[in-house]
Structure formats: structure tokens, C-alpha cells
């Protein structure tokens, strides 16, 4: 099902597009036709709303505050692990800046969580060729104890091969799962390979393994291990789990291919702080007519501890905060409320998103539509949505037309999405819009020490700001519902 079909002859394509595609007429004639169509087809208010959206887009493209914001966050706070004192500093930073900018209803909505902390980690090959390894504990990994864990390694090419290993076959050993994630524009391989990270440790434990290693879920070839959350099964022993950088994974696979027994030592020192504080930071531009109706944009404020969280997700914080700022500074007041949510503790299991859903459960039906920026700083190349109404489809067409000049194509994929922190709201029925970023390089840096602000491109961030401003403004300044119409067509 497609809301902005791009196939030739589709009955759903807006008439404007067909006109523009098929006519070879001179520019002046085309402009006249456009104006005539516009006057005929749209209400005066919607036309004004679109004109404002175009203005916001153009202002963003001239240069937004996004790069300044993400630079400040990653410099003045740096790494901000979920539930840590650093994440608290990030909230304080966000509250100060949002208040300073004069947004409404600026607040922290706190919640409690068990906060994992990394104290020390490392690894080395003991035999046959002693040398250090670039490794990093997966988020949530238990400690090895002071003496570390020294054991022979059994290598598996894939997670399925590990699953096929006989019970007890890994007693006293460390299991390693290799795989090679390839880069994709849309990041679609991540879910597939990520199972080795999340589910792998307990699968290895079920075969008797003492420890677990993976090739990093990442597309670079640098000596940066990629961390990220694991998920222990309740019924399995919790074993230490670490990721090797891709060059180190190559190294141990090369050594193992030589046929000799491979022995390694790894160590992890970690702990969990129970009932630690996290929170979601919120700011709004209140709706002028229906303030209870909410258009949600946002990003997550926490990051992994290895880098400074620039692409994940400082970029999203910068993009969405700059978009909200742009609307406010233009002096525009939308019909509905635009709410910016900077979620806490996303990386460790969408804890902020779940807390938000719980706190706002009664108001979920008033959440008109949402979109999160959480895929780095690459340019938006596609827009899709899961609108369930004809009026919603029309409004999306308006958005798509406004974004086409800045390189955004209307896509035909209508899977709900729009960012991980929206999943609980999606499950509760909220429609979403997806502003698809080019993530070809995203998994080069994702969850590594190298996720720093020098990797971001200011002009690409501005293009993202333009798209978020157009979306948030048009959605909030209309009265259309994106939910399914109650009376069938």
C-alpha cells in the first residue's frame, strides 16, 4: 500500500505531479497552471500554511542551529550513558537551553532504572600468537572477575551455527560468532545481524560457554569495537560478552583458519546501580486552537559511553531542537501543539519511551502523528508514512511536494516507523512519518568511541531540519486526522 505512489499511472498520484511530469510547455504557462490549480484545489488557510512551510524549509537550508546544538551537547556533556550522572548533566543542559529559547512547558519527566556501568575491559590472544585485542563489553555484560576469563575459543560463522551446536559442547570455552554486516543505505541489515549481539550471549550460555565474543555489528574496518545492549535470558547463566573490532575479528578468524587452537583472555569490570535516575526532557510550542492535540518530534538524549554520541543521537537532538526553534523564531503558532521529546535511556531498552507511554497513556489518542530523528546526520532521501486516512494522504502529498526540491523522494513503503522511541506509541495506535536518512556510513561509527561531532556535516543537518520543520509545521497547523476514518468509504 502506498500513500505517495510513484508508479506511472497510479490513480493516487496528486494531479499536480502528473501535470508537471507530462507537460513540455514553457515555464510561464506551467506557473499559470500551477497557480490556477492551487486556487482551485486548496483552501486559503492550507495555502498559507504551505507557504509558511516553504519559508521554514528555505530558512533551514540557509543554515540552522543544529550543528551548534549537537556540538554543544557533545562538548559540554560528552558521553551520557543511560542512568548516569552524565545523562543527568545532559538533561540539565537540555532544560537550560530549552528554557533559554523560551519554549513552553519545558520539563523533565523522571523515571527510575537499573543503570549499567562500564569500569574496565580488555582482551588479548594468549596462544598461538600473543597480542592485544581491541574489544569492548556489550552493554549489560556481567563482569569476568578480577583475573579475567581465559579459555579456548570455538568459532561459529553465524548465529545459526551457534544455535546448532550440541548442548554442553561449549563447556569451559568461549564462543565466538563472526558475520560481516554490509553497508546499506537504509540500515536494513542491522536488525538481522543484531541478533548475534542481543540473543547470542544466552544462546552460548545454553551450550555451556563461559564467555561470548562477536565480530562487531558495524561496517567499518577500524579498531573500534561496537558496543550495544545484550539481552540475557532469565533462565540462563549470565556470561560476560564482548565485541571485537572488525580488524580483530579478521585476525582471530585468520588465526583459527590456520588450524591451531586459539586461546584468549578477556576481562570486564561492570556494575549495575539500582533505581538510578533517568528522564525525558520535553518542550512545546502550544497549539493555538487545539492544544491537546500533539505532534511529536524528538530524539534520544542518552548515548553509549565510548564516544560522545554525536551521530547517535546528538544529531537527532540538534535536528529536532533546531526545527522547533525555527518555527518559534518565525513567530508561527500552529493549530495543534508541537511537542519535542528528548527521550532518556533509549540505548538500554527504550526505557524513556516506555515511561513516556505509561505517563501519557490517557492522551495517546491525542498524539496525532510522530517522527523521531535517530539515524545519524545523513541527508533525508525518502519520506514515507502510515497515514490511514485520505485527508492524511493529501497532507502527506503536500509535505512531499515541499520536500522534493531538497532531494526528498516520496516513497511507497508504508510500514509504521519513524524512530525507535515511537514504538510504544505506534503499538498504541499513533501514526508516524518516516524521514529516511542516508545511513550508508552510520554503522561505521555507531556505538563506537569514534562517534564524535567531527563526523557530522552541517549542511546535511540543515536539510534534516528543513524536513522536520515542514513536517511538524504542516501536521500541527492542520486539523486532519491520520488515523483510520471511522465511517468506511
Q: Which is nearer to its own copies, 56 or 317 (CB)?
A: 317
How far apart are the C-alpha atoms of 289 and 280, rounded to whole Å?
26
Q: Does 454 bind its own copies (CB under 8 A)?
A: yes
Please report whether residue 71 would count as binding its own copies according to CB under 8 A: yes
- Is there a contact between 248 and 134 (Cβ–Cβ < 8 Å)? yes
d(CA 187, CA 438) in angstroms, rounded, equals 9
Cβ of residue 258: shortest distance to its own copies, in angstroms? 8
**Least CB distance to its own copies at residue 445 (A):** 9
Q: Considering beta carbons, is residue 129 or 192 the nearer one to its own copies?
A: 129
Binding residues among 249-278 for its own copies as defined by CB under 8 A: 250-251, 254-255
Angle formed at CA 207 by CA 202 and CA 212, multiple of 5 degrees: 50
Contact flags string 177-216 toward its own copies, x per CB under 8 A = ----------------------------------------
Closest separation between CB of residue 301 and its own copies, Å? 16
The strand pair at 433-437 and 380-385 is best described as antiparallel
**Cis amide bond preceding 128, omega within 30:** yes
| Nearer of residues 454 and 489 to its own copies, judged by Cβ | 454
In the complex, least distance from residue 311 CB atom to its own copies, rounded to whole angstroms: 13
As measured in angstroms, the least distance from the Cβ of 205 to its own copies is 30
Q: With binding defined as CB under 8 A, does residue 79 bind its own copies?
A: yes
Q: How far is the CB of 449 from its own copies (least distance, A)?
A: 5
| Site residues (CB under 8 A) for its own copies, limited to 114-153 | 125, 128-132, 134
Give the interface segment with its own copies, choosing from 94-102, 169-177, 205-213, 242-250 (CB under 8 A). 242-250
Q: β-strand 149-156 against 174-177: which pairing, if any? A: parallel
Q: How far is the CB of 356 from its own copies (least distance, A)?
A: 27
CA–CA distance, 207 with 185 (Å, rounded to integer): 36
Beta strands in 73-134 (DSSP E): 104-127, 131-133
* Helical packing angle, 458-476 and 315-329, nearest 10°: 50
Q: Could you give phi then psi for residue 427, rounded to 5 degrees?
A: -60, -30
Separation between Cα atoms, residue 448 and residue 235, nearest integer Å: 30
Give 56 or 449: the residue with its C-beta nearer to its own copies. 449
Task: Name the phi and psi angles at 184, rounded to 5.
Answer: -135, 155
- Nearer of residues 400 and 449 to its own copies, judged by Cβ: 449
Closest contact distance (angstroms) between CB of 299 and its own copies is 20
Contact 466, 57 (CB under 8 A): yes
Binning the chain into helix, strand and coil, the percentages to the nearest 5 are: 40, 25, 40
Residue of 302, 273, 300 lying closest to 87 (CA atoms): 302
Nearest-angstrom CA–CA distance, 334 and 328: 10
Which of 53, 56, 69, 77 lies at the binding interface for its own copies (CB under 8 A)?
Answer: 77
Q: Does position 78 bind its own copies by CB under 8 A?
A: yes
- Per rule CB under 8 A, is residue 221 in the interface with its own copies? yes
Which of 308, 337, 371, 373 touches its own copies (CB under 8 A)? 308
Span 407-426, contacts to its own copies by CB under 8 A: none
Residues 63, 237, 247, 349: which binds its own copies (CB under 8 A)?
247
Give the interface segment with its own copies, choosing from 12-20, 202-210, 233-241, 453-461 (CB under 8 A): 453-461
Q: By the 8 A CB rule, do 340 and 370 touch?
A: no
Q: Which of 452, 464, 478, 481 binds its own copies (CB under 8 A)?
A: 452
Work out how close the CB of 450 gets to its own copies at its nearest, in angstroms, rounded to a whole number.
5
Give the total of residues touching its own copies (CB under 8 A): 32
- Give the integer Cα–Cα distance in Å for 200 and 402: 45
CA neighbor of 280 nearest in space, from 346, 324, 328, 338: 346
Task: Please name every residue paired with 283 in a beta bridge, in sequence order, or none if there are none.
Answer: 340
Q: Which stretch binds its own copies (CB under 8 A): 200-208, 354-362, 388-396, 444-452?
A: 444-452
Task: Give 106 or 449: the residue with its C-beta nearer to its own copies.
Answer: 449
Contact 447, 306 (CB under 8 A): yes
Q: Least separation, in Å, of the C-beta of 81 and its own copies?
A: 11
CB 400 within 8 A of CB 383: yes
| Contacting residues toward its own copies, per CB under 8 A | 71, 75-79, 86, 125, 128-132, 134, 221-224, 246-247, 250-251, 254-255, 307-308, 449-450, 452-455
Amino acid at each position: 500500500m502506498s500513500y505517495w505512489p510513484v508508479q506511472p499511472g497510479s490513480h493516487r498520484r496528486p494531479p499536480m505531479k502528473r501535470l508537471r511530469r507530462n507537460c513540455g510547455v514553457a515555464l510561464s504557462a506551467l506557473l499559470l497552471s500551477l497557480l490556477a490549480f492551487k486556487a482551485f484545489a486548496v483552501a486559503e488557510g492550507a495555502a498559507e500554511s504551505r507557504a509558511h512551510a516553504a519559508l521554514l524549509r528555505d530558512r533551514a537550508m540557509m543554515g540552522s542551529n543544529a550543528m551548534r546544538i549537537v556540538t554543544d551537547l557533545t562538548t559540554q556533556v560528552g558521553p551520557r550513558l543511560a542512568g548516569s550522572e552524565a545523562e543527568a548533566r545532559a538533561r540539565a543542559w537540555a532544560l537550560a537551553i530549552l528554557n533559554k529559547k523560551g519554549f513552553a512547558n519545558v520539563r523533565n519527566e523522571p523515571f527510575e532504572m537499573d543503570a549499567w556501568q562500564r569500569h574496565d575491559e580488555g582482551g588479548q590472544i594468549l596462544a598461538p600468537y600473543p597480542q592485544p585485542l581491541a574489544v569492548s563489553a556489550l552493554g549489560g555484560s556481567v563482569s569476568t572477575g578480577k583475573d579475567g576469563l581465559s579459555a579456548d575459543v570455538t568459532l561459529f560463522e553465524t548465529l545459526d551455527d551457534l544455535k546448532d551446536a550440541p548442548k554442553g559442547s561449549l563447556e569451559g570455552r568461549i564462543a565466538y560468532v563472526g558475520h560481516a554486516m554490509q553497508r546499506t543505505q537504509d540500515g536494513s541489515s542491522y536488525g538481522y545481524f543484531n541478533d548475534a549481539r542481543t540473543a547470542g550471549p544466552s544462546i552460548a550460555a545454553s551450550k555451556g560457554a563461559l564467555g561470548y565474543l562477536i565480530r562487531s555489528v558495524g561496517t567499518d574496518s577500524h579498531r573500534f569495537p561496537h558496543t550495544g545492549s545484550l539481552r540475557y535470558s532469565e533462565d540462563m547463566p549470565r556470561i560476560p560478552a564482548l565485541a571485537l573490532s572488525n580488524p580483530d575479528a579478521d585476525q582471530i578468524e585468520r588465526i583459527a583458519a590456520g588450524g591451531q587452537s586459539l586461546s584468549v583472555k578477556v576481562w570486564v569490570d561492570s556494575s549495575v546501580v539500582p533505581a538510578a535516575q533517568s528522564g525525558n526532557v520535553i518542550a512545546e510550542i502550544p497549539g493555538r486552537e487545539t492544544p491537546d492535540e500533539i505532534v511529536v518530534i524528538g530524539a534520544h538524549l542518552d548515548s553509549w559511553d565510548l564516544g560522545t554520541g554525536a551521530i547517535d543521537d546528538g544529531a537527532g537532538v540538534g535536528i529536532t531542537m533546531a526545527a522547533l526553534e525555527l518555527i518559534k523564531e518565525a513567530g508561527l503558532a500552529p493549530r495543534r501543539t508541537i511537542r519535542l521529546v528528548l527521550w532518556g535511556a533509549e540505548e538500554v531498552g527504550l526505557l524513556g519511551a516506555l515511561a513516556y507511554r505509561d505517563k501519557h497513556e490517557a492522551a495517546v489518542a491525542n498524539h496525532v502523528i510522530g517522527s523521531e530523528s535517530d539515524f545519524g546526520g545523513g541527508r533525508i532521501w525518502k519520506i514515507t508514512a502510515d497515514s490511514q486516512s485520505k485527508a492524511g494522504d493529501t497532507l502527506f502529498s503536500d509535505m512531499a511536494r515541499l520536500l522534493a526540491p531538497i532531494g526528498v523522494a516520496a516513497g511507497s513503503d508504508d510500514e509504521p516507523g519513524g524512530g525507535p522511541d515511537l514504538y510504544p506509541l505506534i503499538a498504541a495506535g499513533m501514526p508516524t512519518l518516516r524521514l529516511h536518512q542516508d545511513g550508508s556510513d552510520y554503522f561505521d561509527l555507531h556505538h563506537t568511541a569514534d562517534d564524535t561531532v567531527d563526523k557530522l556535516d552541517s549542511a546535511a543537518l540543515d536539510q534534516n531540519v528543513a524536513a522536520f520543520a515542514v513536517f511538524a509545521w504542516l501536521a500541527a497547523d492542520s486539523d486532519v486526522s491520520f488515523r483510520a476514518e471511522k465511517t468506511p468509504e
